[in-house]
Structure 1
């Protein structure tokens, strides 16, 4: 067993990584959260299979806010020519790099950057853009979705918590000027939790309603937006619509 693999096995991870020896990493709370990752992966794979077939050969991808790199490694192992994993936290970049090196994934690159600081012109566009578990930790989710659109050549997958929507008409300066609500955001306070590896880096979080997410994705330039159906055995939040995955296309 390599030293890298031993280092992976000595740590408790957010994801269950299968290692070259066949052993798997230990995960938080004795695997209590594994189901959410497996559900998200199944939903992601359904979209990519419908779009690209059984392989990502000839395709490239970017995983924005990659965390420990689990989804990025899945794309690399699915045969993508090039996968770029990006995260704002140095510890996540180090974790993803260790996983990449242990699995021998020469087609996976890792870099540290906040989503809002990405130089989209320099990076170019990608067949697959992942934005999983990110926008509900941001104070500027609209700006992040604009970044995602600039990077997308074919499809962007956004997975997020959502809040209950609001509908109706609003007096907009006067009763004579009335505008319809296109969706809503809920404010979540993570200001005391920014040290946590799965939380906001700023602490102010704007969580969209599903209606808001669809409307914004269209407004930032995606031509088609679809809700990805969860599998029958989905993690409860995705099964009951408390979290959603949306596929946004550039056709």
Structure 2
């Protein structure tokens, strides 16, 4: 057993990495949560096929924002993307992603960067940008979606997966009862200030969770030509099947 494999096997992971030796690492999500990985992957694969069709995947590039341990970067490589790069705000996530890639015998690039600090000049643009499980942990989700748009190449695809809040709609007095604006969506505030040490939580503790209507509206307003909710497999993760989470495909 190599030192890298021993380090991979000596801890628990969020994702079920399969190492070069064929062994699979131990994971810590409970069994009822684990299907979120396979459901996201199935939806990702279907969206990639629908958007890119028979284009040579080796010519395509991808960026994984808030890449965590890098598992989806592995999946993108398996889907044939010629260039895959991951970014994460947490230094330990980047370190873990590099370790997992080494343990799985993959050459992938992972760098530490907050989503709000990225731009196309420094990160480049990609044909596919992933934004999975990120924006509902942010205090500035609109800014993150602006970044995602900036990093998505022309005619490219951005996939946003997030928890969503119940929607509010209707008229809103806007300075005077004779001047009324319609509510087009809303964000719910969630407090994670006591959980910022957690690997799957906010780095600031202030979280704005969009309603589906808000998410679709914002995606179009930041510049995406089209945004649509993806179908969920019949046996998919319950949060996605019941619309409490969504994956949206946004076309630039």
TM-score normalised per structure 2: 0.95
| Secondary structure of the structure 1 residue equivalent to 2:59 | coil
- CA gap of 1:8–1:33, structure 2 versus 1, over 3 A, is farther
2:251 aligned with 1:220: no
Task: Please tell me whether the aligned partners of residues 140 and 208 of structure 2 are also in contact (alpha carbons under 8 angstroms).
Answer: yes
| Secondary structure of the structure 1 residue equivalent to 2:48 | helix
| Secondary structure of the structure 2 residue equivalent to 1:193 | coil
- CA gap of 1:222–1:29, structure 2 versus 1, over 3 A, is closer
- 5+ residue gaps, structure 2, are none
Aligned partner of 2:247 in structure 1 is: 245
Task: Please tell me whether the aligned partners of residues 56 and 75 of structure 1 are also in contact (alpha carbons under 8 angstroms).
Answer: no
Aligned partner of 1:209 in structure 2 is: 211
2:136 aligned with 1:98: no
> How far did residue 30 of structure 1 move?
5.4
Q: Distance in 2 between matches of 1:121 and 1:5?
A: 36
Shifted more, 164-173 versus 94-103: the winner is 94-103
Shifted more, 126-135 versus 16-25: the winner is 16-25
| Secondary structure of the structure 1 residue equivalent to 2:20 | coil
Question: Which of the residues 173, 176, 189 maps onto 2:175?
Answer: 173
| Secondary structure of the structure 1 residue equivalent to 2:188 | strand
| Secondary structure of the structure 1 residue equivalent to 2:23 | coil
CA deviations 1:119-152 (Å, max 9, x no partner) are 3222221000000000000000000000000000
CA deviations 1:31-79 (Å, max 9, x no partner) are 4432011111110111001122476221000000001101011112222
Aligned partner of 2:118 in structure 1 is: 118
Number of aligned positions between the proteins: 249
Give the root-mean-square deviation of aligned CA atoms: 1.3
| Secondary structure of the structure 1 residue equivalent to 2:7 | helix
2:169 aligned with 1:189: no
For residues 1-251 of structure 1, the aligned pairs below 5 Å read: 1-29=1-29, 31-53=31-53, 56-106=57-107, 108-153=108-153, 154-250=156-252
| Secondary structure of the structure 1 residue equivalent to 2:198 | coil
- CA gap of 1:25–1:53, structure 2 versus 1, over 3 A, is farther
Q: Distance in 1 between matches of 2:23 and 2:222?
A: 43
Task: Please tell me whether the aligned partners of residues 77 and 105 of structure 1 are also in contact (alpha carbons under 8 angstroms).
Answer: no
Shifted more, 5-14 versus 159-168: the winner is 5-14
- CA gap of 1:190–1:129, structure 2 versus 1, over 3 A, is same
- CA gap of 1:247–1:205, structure 2 versus 1, over 3 A, is same
Q: Distance in 2 between matches of 1:184 and 1:143?
A: 15
| Secondary structure of the structure 2 residue equivalent to 1:57 | helix
> How far did residue 223 of structure 1 move?
0.0
Q: Distance in 1 between matches of 2:30 and 2:141?
A: 32
